[in-house]
Structure 1
């Protein structure tokens, strides 16, 4: 009987010290959320493109051109000093005025509400489209930009007057550019 207990104990110790096995997940996601998001964003992009093209066709007095940055731009006016001016570079201080309106013409923010701004190029927060648009301008120039939502305030809007996924129009005038050395 004593041998039987010893054998049983050795057997129990041998098989009781098994390494833990990894548990399998109960549900496996295959990335369907990402695929759905891609489809939704493509539809949103196409709808915005159509709305912007319609706006450009109905406002044919301005010559809008697609920029390499993913928005549309039309040159409104040039003051004489703009021909002698340079494009702003990194850390230059740009003094400008701008307004924001919707594609249907409704003014969202007037230039007086947004007030005159001093912006240190690429060193301060500014929505993507405007930051890139300022790089295309010289002092004394006025441009009108059409920004698709991803270049404007994107998915969240400005959490005030600009809704989510809203393309906007902005007329921007650069008053001066102060070069930093």
Structure 2
């Protein structure tokens, strides 16, 4: 009996000394979700671009230009180039703006959003507006058209702006204070 117990003990020790082996994954992801997401986003972008181009065609009084940042803008009030400088990192920009849908429905008025002071590139502001303010001088008013990915994107603002909503915004820069 003692021999059997010793053999069993030796056998158990031999099994426990075995190095662990890597386990193979149970499922392998193919990346199809990402591929489908890319296709879905391209379709969304094309649909938004067509809607924005249709809106621009209806605007006879404004000349919209495409920005290198991925949005469109029209200069409503232009100030001379030498009148003031463009804002730089840390400058305080005092501005008013409103937000509307492409069909012209007002989402937020200038009164609701109030006059804001924004420390350039140091505070939270949606991407399109942050980049648009970089192109403006004190005293200028621009009308911007932001595709959804430059506005509030997939989630919206979880209040009045829905998901994947392109926006129109009239922005007036009141003053720019050096950092």
TM-score by length of 2: 0.90
Farther-moved stretch of structure 1 (22-31 vs 63-72):
22-31
CA change 1:46–1:14 in 2 (3 A) is same
Task: Give the SS at the match of 2:63.
Answer: coil
1:61 deviates by 2.0
1:12 deviates by 6.5
1:11 deviates by 6.3
CA change 1:12–1:96 in 2 (3 A) is closer
CA change 1:3–1:168 in 2 (3 A) is closer
Contact 2:99 2:169 survives alignment (8 Å)? yes
Contact 2:73 2:142 survives alignment (8 Å)? yes
Partner in structure 2 of residue 18 of structure 1: 18
Structure 2 CA distance, aligned partners of 1:3 and 1:93? 87
CA change 1:45–1:5 in 2 (3 A) is same
Contact 2:79 2:137 survives alignment (8 Å)? no
Q: How does 1:117-128 map to 2 (within 5 A)?
A: 117-128=116-127
1:83 deviates by 4.4
Structure 1 CA distance, aligned partners of 2:118 and 2:57? 33
Q: How does 1:1-181 map to 2 (within 5 A)?
A: 13-14=13-14, 17-79=17-79, 83-180=82-179
Structure 2 CA distance, aligned partners of 1:7 and 1:93? 82
Task: Give the SS at the match of 2:96.
Answer: strand
**Would you identify which runs of 4 or more consecutive aligned residues in structure 1 move more than 3 Å?**
2-17
Structure 2 CA distance, aligned partners of 1:96 and 1:73? 16
1:78 deviates by 2.5
Name the Cα RMSD after superposition: 2.1
Structure 1 CA distance, aligned partners of 2:177 and 2:16? 78
Task: Give the SS at the match of 1:60.
Answer: coil
1:36 deviates by 1.2
Farther-moved stretch of structure 1 (11-20 vs 100-109):
11-20
1:39 deviates by 1.0
In structure 1, stretches of 5+ residues that fail to align are none
